[in-house]
Amino acid sequence: MSEGVDDQRASRRSLAAIAFVDAAIIGAGLFIHARSHDILHLVVAAFIAGGVTIPMLVRWADRHGRGGRGRGGRSRA
């Protein structure tokens, strides 16, 4: 029982880390935009955040059996 709770906590911590990285990248883009008033910085920050966090989320889903492709994590069968 405790093992399942620990897995859930680890899962939440890893998702929180992914969200933190995403927020940091977007925050940096907002900071640069506020200083230069160039919308291109926001667009670039959004693309970088997506390019960083989407692969991280895919790996997270694979590890925790939520990828839908039958790889990694717990078996749903």
The answer to whether residue 16 sits within a structural domain is: no
pTM of the model: 0.56
52 lies in which domain range?
A: 22-68
Residue 69 has pLDDT above 70, yes or no: no
What are the pLDDT digits (tens) for 14-35? Answer: 888 888 888 888 888 888 878 8
The answer to whether residue 77 sits within a structural domain is: no
Helix (H, G, I), strand (E, B) or coil at 52: helix
Contact in structure between 54 and 69 (CB atoms under 8 Å): no
Helix (H, G, I), strand (E, B) or coil at 38: coil
If one counts the domains in the chain, the total is 1
The answer to whether residue 63 sits within a structural domain is: yes
Contact in structure between 47 and 22 (CB atoms under 8 Å): no
